[in-house]
Amino acid sequence: MGKKIRCLFGTDGVRDVANKGVMIPEMVLRLARAYALFLAERGIPKPTIAIGTDTRLSCQMLQSALEAGFMSAGADVLLLGVIPTAGVSFAVRKYELAGGAVISASHNPAEYNGVKFFDKRGVKLSDDDEAAIEEYLGDSMLDEWRPTGASIGLSIEAKDSIGDYVQYMLAKVDSFSLSEYKMVIDCANGAIIKSAKDVFEALKPKKAVFLGDKPDGLNINEGVGVMFIETCQEAVLKEGADFGVAFDGDGDRVLFVDEKGRLINGDLILWVLARWLKKKGALGSGVVATVMSNMALEEHLNKEGIPLFRCPVGDRYVYETMQKTNSLLGGEQSGHIIIKDYVQTGDGLCTSLMFLRACDELGLSISELNDEFSPYPQLLQNVRVSSKDKILSHPAFLELLRECERKIEARGRVFVRPSGTEPMVRILLEAKGLDLDSLAKELVSQIHKIDKELDKVI
Closest by CA position to 54, among listed 302, 303, 221, 268: 221
Return the DSSP state at 19. T
Integer-rounded Cα radius of gyration of the chain: 23
Which one is catalytic: 58, 104, 106, 327?
106
- Report how far apart, in Å, the C-alpha atoms of 440 and of each of 276, 382, 400, 430 are: 37, 10, 12, 11
Cα distance between residue 250 and residue 226, in whole Å:
11
Cα distance between residue 162 and residue 325, in whole Å:
32
The answer for 174, left when phi > 0, alpha when psi is -120 to 50, beta otherwise, is left
User: What are phi and psi for residue 414, nearest 5 degrees?
Assistant: -125, 135
140 catalytic residue (yes or no): no
Count CB-CB contacts under 10 A for residue 259: 16
Cα distance between residue 71 and residue 85, in whole Å:
22
DSSP strands (E only) in 320-392: 329-331, 337-339, 378-384
Return the DSSP state at 133. H
CB 100 within 8 A of CB 89: yes
- Report how far apart, in Å, the C-alpha atoms of 1 and of each of 168, 354, 458 are: 42, 42, 33
| Single-letter code of the amino acid located at 352 | S
CB 266 within 8 A of CB 229: no
Q: Count Cα neighbours of 62 within 13 Å in the Cβ-side half-sphere.
A: 34
| Single-letter code of the amino acid located at 324 | K
Angle between helices 25-40 and 59-72 (to 10 degrees): 40
Cα distance between residue 331 and residue 271, in whole Å:
11
Q: In what order do the strands lie in the sheet with 412-418?
A: 378-384, 424-431, 412-418
Cα distance between residue 286 and residue 182, in whole Å:
33
Cα distance between residue 402 and residue 399, in whole Å:
5
Cα distance between residue 239 and residue 256, in whole Å:
15
Return the DSSP state at 288. E
DSSP strands (E only) in 65-130: 76-82, 99-103, 112-118
* Active-site residue list: 106
